[in-house]
Amino acid sequence: MTLPRPPPAGNGNPPWHALPVGDALACHGVDANNGLTQEEAAARLERDGPNRLSVQPGRSALQRFLNQLTEPLVLVLIGSGVVTAGLGEWIDSSVIFGVVIVNAVIGFLQEGKAEAALAALARAVATEVTVLRDGRRRRMDAVHLVPGDVVWLSAGDKVPADLRLISGKQLRTVEAALTGEAAPTDKHFDPLPADTLLADRRNMAYAGTTVVAGQGQGLVIGTADATETGRISGLIAGAPEIATPLTKKMAEFAGLLLWVILGLAALTFVIGVWRGESMAAMMVAAVALAVGAIPEGLPAAMSITLAIGVSRMAKRRAIIRHLPAVESLGSTTVICSDKTGTLTENAMTVTEIWAGGEAFGVSGQGYKPEGELRLRGEIAVPPAPTLGDAVSGSAGDMALGTALRETLLAGALCNDAALYHEHRQWQITGDPTEAALLVVARKGGLDETTLHNVFPRRDELPFDSARQTMATLHAIEGRSMVYAKGAIEKLLPACRNMLAADGSEAPLDTAALEASAALMATRGLRVLALARRQLAAGDELTEAAISAGMVLVGLVGMIDPPRVRAVGAVRTCHAAGIRVKMITGDHAETARAIAGQIGIVKAGDAATVLTGRDLARLDDEALKAAARNVDVFARVEPEQKLRLVRALQAQGEVVAMTGDGVNDAPALKQADIGIAMGMGGTDVAKEAAAMVLTDDNFATIEAAVEEGRGIYDNLVKFITWTLPTNFGEGLVILAAIVAGVTLPITPLQILWINMTTAVLLGLPLAFEPAERGIMHRPPRPPGAPVLDAVLIERVVLVGILMLAGAFGMFLLAGERGQSMAEARTIAMNVFVAIEIVYLFNCRSLRLPVTAVAAFSNPWVWAGAGLQLVLQMAITYWAPLNNAFATAPIDLRAWGEISLIALVAMGIIELEKRWRGAAG
């Protein structure tokens, strides 16, 4: 049997939404009344595969572990261990390999970003579906769906595949996870222009979206990887792993350090051999220099510093899934934020009401029924849930209720949604627009449950996409009252009068109504009109009953409102030199209004908003200019979000991308740091992101940026502190070879210094609190090195001080006739003493020691104390003397060591002050 295979969109072939229903069915060779036969469906399943997204496996645990051993500096350590083993220095070799393994284990445990985004996408497809096969409806697992199947949809269903809708009644879906638009989408079945954007394809339903009202039939036109969700999964899989600013800079830093170390080691070997030393001895010296110059503790210190940052961020409601992302936020220059659920509540909320010729503002956000209705600064309706005359009075009293009360009543009665409190949260079922009407009614003191008991529904006309109106009929003491809600352009022509403020009927003021609706629309509000009509007892609710003779009771304007804390967060980001850009799938006017309210653009300005259709016309260079200059992008599709992020990155920007939907996932993965919403976000977004906000609040990003900047500062402090020791150790070895004297310090002693001080002295810097004014600095330039010229010069200065102190004391001990073990012990303690005092210098790289609160970081004092204890042990405890070739020294030597350390500290402070005065 030859199965029909419809031509793909493109290459002159129309996309599915542009085809009439009959043509779409013909392309698949299927009859809408009978569906596919079981035999044909089985053959197509064999051809196209199951309706399940492909999942690519991540790296194995072994691969991740071996990856820790391929860093350049680690390879030098491994080479040094091999050389020392070849020379018979088994203890030294064992210690070197021990350091390598410890670093690898730490890196292995801390790494491990799970590549589960595609698995989460697979879970987004419905598991059960009603399908038409052999002329009969049957329930089956959605994994068995094939192109050409006819499926049935009803309220509450998750769409199981991409569908070309072919018939139905009042079908509405919520597609926020795919398109970014919070409001439900009304569906129809007529063909659309070929260039219609994804979010506007009203004759399509897409896998993973949800049906909230009505019912319908759809032709399966794409399953598994061929769905829009599958296409997004391909974008995620194709997005490369982006190296964070920290990993990029540390890779450059390690590469430079590697060549310096190898150069010095080679120079040491050549000079020694030229002076007549044996090659074996010079190989030991070269290894000693390499081991001394390599900051062995840096990888572990970096991982632990970042891990401390992870813990700090978790307390501020930001969960880090990938360690280097901790620092990435501190480097961020641009935040690209989704609107729905990130900058906004992701809950339709009534914010304005026009009734009786008066405008009311509504406070409160989301589905929590707390807030007030205000008129010109005065409370118009008490927030307490009392029904007043609307329930306890007579039918006549009810008819004469205020226009505002009647507007709230109409919205609550002409409504199929439900609002309930569960698990400490207010939740809804049904249409979010209708739920917003229930919430505002409760803010006005009207409870829908009580209303339905007092005014029971007798009949209804469900919402119809053609008339764009819903109506319900209620019994009121022997009379019938119709309440209707719908689009103002549909409902207004059916009205003969309107309610005045006191509830009496007045002539319809069309101009005032249209002006109020237009004003609401400019603020990005979705406007609904509400009307009523009294019928005679026994009259039925018909289309004719609501097509004329209605009385307009009011207008409501609703929007997915901005989060209150997002306004301050955006302001702080701007003060920190970080641009915030909104990239959303919602409508342009809504995006512009929200951007103005939050402060992304100036409120009231005619800010430029580019839509997905605008972006599609831009080449790469024009897109770069648009990405740089425009701050609001609307009606944007997933690959366009991805393209915008890449355009910003191509200009050297460090990009953070926030989002919560399936449509955000590719851009989340492509960004330097992807930030997903933990409460309202999809699993897809969470798995593609490097960071998850547990409170779904954009303001948490501000706190995370502050933490990220502080963490980077602490890493630079650690590097500035640790490098002089390595530099000084290398200089001591080189100086000894040039001078033709015995090495003042052995490779094993060097490892002791590097590893103990890195843990006890270096790591406490990770606990340094953020310095004042950290959020008033501009972002670090993306191309800036880890250490600037000032800090490099300081590293050289401190390294020279260590060289002078340690080498000088070693030579002095020899002149006094002290043993080689004593001389080397003195030299080793000089290094540690200078490191201890330099640690306090490094608590601030710009300010003097006295400007830093002495006990703001008690870990510094604890680490210095423990380091002194260890130095006493290696100097005076026999087992350590034997293992490390050290020996006890006298008090005079300790006095000289202390004096050298204090002199070094004073010189460093003078250099700081000189820099400050020069700056």
The residues annotated with a catalytic role in the active site are 338
Q: What is the Cα–Cα distance from 49 to 37, expressed in whole angstroms?
A: 17
Closest to 126 in 3D by CA, of 208, 39, 222: 208
Supply 441's token pair. 């009614």
**Unique residue bearing structure tokens 């061929």:** 226
Please give the helix or strand (H or E) that residue 874 lies within, else none: helix 858-876
Please give the helix or strand (H or E) that residue 305 lies within, else none: helix 297-315
Q: What is the Cα–Cα distance from 889 to 251, expressed in whole angstroms?
A: 41
User: Which string of b and e fits 315-349 if b means at least 16 CB within 10 Å?
Assistant: eebbebbbbbbbbbbbbbbbbbbbbbbbbbbbbbb
Q: What is the Cα–Cα distance from 491 to 843, expressed in whole angstroms?
A: 69
Instruction: Enumerate long-range contacts of 27-33, CB under 8 Å, 24 or more apart.
Output: 28/4, 28/147, 28/148, 28/219, 28/221, 29/3, 29/4, 29/148, 30/148, 30/149, 30/150, 30/219, 32/150, 32/166, 32/167, 32/217, 32/219, 33/135
Contacts of 781 (CB under 8 A, 6+ apart): none
Supply 818's token pair. 């002290």
Supply 167's token pair. 């018939």
Rg (CA), the chain: 36
- In DSSP notation, 384-444 reads S---THHHHS-HHHHHT--HHHHHHHHHHHS---EEEEETTEEEEES-HHHHHHHHHHHHT
Supply 145's token pair. 């769906």
Residue type for position 534: Q
User: Which string of b and e fits 597-632 if b means at least 16 CB within 10 Å?
Assistant: bbbbbeeeeebebbbbebbeebeeeebbebbeebbb
Give the C-alpha distances (Å, rounded to integers) separating 590 from 250, 486, 603, 605.
43, 19, 13, 14
User: Which string of b and e fits 294-312 if b means at least 16 CB within 10 Å?
Assistant: bbbbbbbbbbbbbbbbbeb
